[in-house]
Structure 1
Amino acid sequence: MRTKRILVAPLNWGLGHATRCIPIIRDLERNGYEPVLASDGAALQLLKKEFPQFQTIELPAYNIRYSKKGKNLKWQLLLQLPHILKTIEREKKATAAILKDQDFCGIISDNRFGVYSEAVPSVYITHQLHVLSGATTFLTSRIHQRTIQKFDQCWIPDSPGKINLSGTLGHLKKRRGNLKYIGILSRFQKRPFLKVFDYMVLLSGPEPQRSLLEDILLKSFRNTTQKVLFVRGIFSEEELENNNPNISIKNLLLGADLEEALNSSEVIISRPGYTTLMDLAKLQKKAFFIPTPGQPEQQYLAKRLQKQEMAPFCQQEEFAIQKLEKLKEYPALQDTGFGFDRSSLFGLFEGK
């Protein structure tokens, strides 16, 4: 009998790539496949906690760090380019070694450029057909689109129509053959929990910007009389000092605990990372966004949502509690309404 083992490999750049793979992994298991989970760092730790029953493999780490000043981010990433290219080559070698050691019928890579093979059907997951980078957007988009062509299929977690979440990021003027829109990917369901928190602060993303935003928000809320939950998004035993009984602080919440916390919070304050947008749209939550300084994708998504009168935002250095008054003018986020049976995608792995 042929193996039904699938290598699932999300990028470790914040936790969003790993968390949006969770519904795909569940669907694979429901359809009789055996997911083998491959990543590094916090993304791999999260997958181990969510799926202790599955084999895990550590892949080469990119170890990308952001600059403290947003205007320097592009140059910081440019300086890391030689390391990134070396890591992609190491990924290719690691993937070849994994396939040599075990039988697989397919690969699903979430934004890991080097995790593919001509020996088995290979899928790439991304919402960025256009990679925004200012004056170099045309170049970065072409490079990414050429990478996508190395895979048998590209799965885009969005809807193909005018009502969508990713805007120009996930849509080309001319649609190409290996692109498949698969609808919103979220591990959560909207459930009728009673309200516990007025605000939930959901932190994520690479350092040092995650910590910088954490400091700003903790200082802003330190004297609040409203109920606030901080989820720091880190794997750590460290406990932050907190003298306000109205504030609860958790280093990390997973699975059902995070779903309950989101459903029982009135407003979510977070980065407008794309996975977060999908989760909040699925849960129909009110949100206030603070994009990562210097990250064009998050700046674009935050501005787009505000222009569409779906959610307000402000820049990190401008945040103050008073900014949250804008929320009165905005509704909750909404799902795009694009239904898709993801199990139909897996026929690709039955071919070769």
Structure 2
Amino acid sequence: MGKNRRILVAPLNWGLGHATRCIPIIEALLAHNFTPVIASDGVALSLLRKEFPSLEAVELPSYKIEYAKEGKNFKLKMMWDSPKIMKAVKAEKLLIKQLIEDLKIDGIISDNRLGVRSKTIPSVFITHQLNVLTGNTTWFSSKMHQAIIKKYDECWVPDVAGKPNLTGKLGHLKKEKFPIKYIGPISRLQKKNLEKKYDLMVIISGPEPQRTLLENHLLNELPNFDGNVIFIRGKIQPEQQIQQHKNMKIYNFMNSAELETAFNQSEMVLSRSGYTTVMDLAKLEKKAFFIPTPGQYEQEYLAERLKKHEIVPYCSQEEFTVKKLKKVAIYKGLSAFTTELNFDNLFNLFQGK
């Protein structure tokens, strides 16, 4: 179908979620005879290079996103950092113009990278946040985000249009203001019936310093857990490292195939409530416990919503103790939305005249 049309796929480097949810999209592009070109920075770029070593990959300017050490300062820190982000977006726009010419790009898929678009070729924006939650400034941050999305030819939302859905008010507008396609929850993982090896799987990622703060807290707390733990630290490094620490088998990172096996071999999962993780756990039909990133409204909203629907319990980072994991048993756990995604229709946009 794609006759080797070249599509730039550019996920935001913010934790690993944006990069990992682009994996099934890149695989689908390859299956439909497109040639994906990967563009990102930092760990997101490293991860995709590891997954697709034969694909061309280019580095984009870094947004240098860091979290505040304390959740209550999250919004302040983001506002403080916004000139830095806008500067990167500006540099990104210039670079994209150049890359389209140099690399003969025919289409763009940007996962939350604000400067990756073009007026001359079809450009798609992937997001699950049509509304951006920022507490009492939500109306403003949502308006700003929607103004950016409007500049793209289409917006793809990885959720279902109707109810029940996974994103709630994050991914649904009262009135559609631009072309939205609901592409269903996407995951690079498949459910498999494997023998259970671990009572608990811990997987963490996300910007520093919050990733390390959570890791240290959990490494202190989990030796009190009665059972086998597999712990994936979400640190993308050149070599995979494996350590045994009391009842825990600790990995710095895993590739998609290894993660799929580990998830399927685990009874329950402890993680952040980032949306990519929620989609993965729904696909795998897992029971879980969430610890939202402090101050990140979106993760707090998703965790609260899933708890309210008695699907997954959660608590704050400071409050977490092993005892809280007992609650998982009385919650329903996540279940899959079976949506057949028609990539032929989706990729029609890139077919050219």
Does the alignment pair 1:55 with 2:56? Answer: yes
Does the alignment pair 1:342 with 2:340? Answer: no
1:49-128 to 2 correspondence within 5 Å?
49-128=50-129
Structure 1 residues 241, 219: CA separation in 2 closer, same or farther (over 3 Å shift)? Answer: farther
Matched residue type, 1:170: G
CA distance in structure 2 between the aligned counterparts of 1:220 and 1:2, rounded to whole angstroms: 53
1:1-352 to 2 correspondence within 5 Å?
4-236=5-237, 243-244=245-246, 246-352=247-353
Q: Does the 8 Å CA contact 2:311/2:333 hold for their aligned counterparts?
A: yes
CA distance in structure 2 between the aligned counterparts of 1:39 and 1:308, rounded to whole angstroms: 36
Please give the secondary structure, in 2, of the residue aligned with 1:128. coil
Percent of residue pairs bearing the same amino acid type: 53
Structure 1 residue 125: deviation in Å? 0.2
Please give the secondary structure, in 1, of the residue aligned with 2:254. coil
Structure 1 residue 141: deviation in Å? 0.2
CA distance in structure 2 between the aligned counterparts of 1:13 and 1:267, rounded to whole angstroms: 25
Structure 1 residues 241, 52: CA separation in 2 closer, same or farther (over 3 Å shift)? Answer: closer
Please give the secondary structure, in 2, of the residue aligned with 1:108. strand
Q: Does the 8 Å CA contact 1:3/1:105 hold for their aligned counterparts?
A: no
Matched residue type, 1:17: H
Structure 1 residues 243, 283: CA separation in 2 closer, same or farther (over 3 Å shift)? Answer: closer
CA distance in structure 1 between the aligned counterparts of 2:188 and 2:154, rounded to whole angstroms: 22
| Deviations 1:197-247, CA, capped at 9 Å, x for gaps | 000000110000000111111111124441001000002369697541x21
CA distance in structure 2 between the aligned counterparts of 1:177 and 1:296, rounded to whole angstroms: 24
Structure 1 residue 334: deviation in Å? 0.7
**TM-score of the two chains, using structure 1 as the length reference:** 0.97
**TM-score of the two chains, using structure 2 as the length reference:** 0.97
CA distance in structure 2 between the aligned counterparts of 1:47 and 1:154, rounded to whole angstroms: 22
| Deviations 1:87-115, CA, capped at 9 Å, x for gaps | 11011001001012121220000000000
Q: Does the 8 Å CA contact 1:127/1:170 hold for their aligned counterparts?
A: yes
Q: Does the 8 Å CA contact 1:3/1:103 hold for their aligned counterparts?
A: no
Count of aligned pairs: 351
CA distance in structure 1 between the aligned counterparts of 2:54 and 2:71, rounded to whole angstroms: 40
CA distance in structure 2 between the aligned counterparts of 1:32 and 1:340, rounded to whole angstroms: 17
CA distance in structure 1 between the aligned counterparts of 2:292 and 2:349, rounded to whole angstroms: 37
Structure 1 residue 75: deviation in Å? 0.6
| Deviations 1:51-75, CA, capped at 9 Å, x for gaps | 0110000000011111111001111
| Deviations 1:5-41, CA, capped at 9 Å, x for gaps | 0000000000000000000000000000000000000
Q: Please, what is the CA RMSD of the aligned residues? A: 1.5
Matched residue type, 1:334: S
Matched residue type, 1:42: V
| Deviations 1:153-202, CA, capped at 9 Å, x for gaps | 00000000011100000000012341100001101110011000000000
Q: Does the 8 Å CA contact 1:165/1:336 hold for their aligned counterparts?
A: no
**Stretch of structure 1 that moved more, 100-109 or 282-291:** 100-109
Q: Does the 8 Å CA contact 2:12/2:113 hold for their aligned counterparts?
A: yes
CA distance in structure 2 between the aligned counterparts of 1:160 and 1:241, rounded to whole angstroms: 43
Structure 1 residue 325: deviation in Å? 1.1
Unaligned runs of 5+ in 2: none
CA distance in structure 2 between the aligned counterparts of 1:73 and 1:177, rounded to whole angstroms: 30
